Amino acid sequence: MFCIEVMKQNDISSVTVLLDENFGKDRQSKTAYRLRDAVSPLAELCFVVRIEGKLEASLQFWPIEMGEQGAAVDALLLGPIAVSQEYRGQGLGLKLMEHGLNIARKLGHSRVILVGDESYYKKVGFSRKMALHLEMPGPVDKERLLAQELVPGAMQDVKGMISKIK
Ligand X SMILES: CC(C)(COP(=O)(O)OP(=O)(O)OC[C@H]1O[C@@H](n2cnc3c(N)ncnc32)[C@H](O)[C@@H]1OP(=O)(O)O)[C@@H](O)C(=O)NCCC(=O)NCCS
For ligand X, the binding residues (CB under 6 A) are 22-23, 79, 81-83, 88-94, 116-117, 119-120
Paired residues of 61 in beta bridges: 78
Nearer to ligand X, 121 or 158 (CB): 121
CB of 153 to ligand X, least distance (A): 26
CB of 165 to ligand X, least distance (A): 21
CA R_g for the chain: 15
Rounded Cα–Cα distance for residues 100 and 98 (Å):
6
Rounded Cα–Cα distance for residues 124 and 119 (Å):
10
CB of 152 to ligand X, least distance (A): 25
Nearer to ligand X, 51 or 103 (CB): 51
CB of 18 to ligand X, least distance (A): 8
Nearer to ligand X, 72 or 131 (CB): 131
φ, ψ of residue 115 in degrees (nearest 5): -115, 115
CB of 14 to ligand X, least distance (A): 14
CB count, 10 Å around CB of 87? Answer: 16
φ, ψ of residue 44 in degrees (nearest 5): -75, -5
Which residue of this chain has its Cβ atom nearest to ligand X in the complex? 93
Q: Which of 145, 89, 82, 135 is nearest to 113 (CA)?
A: 145
Nearer to ligand X, 86 or 153 (CB): 86
Nearer to ligand X, 40 or 90 (CB): 90
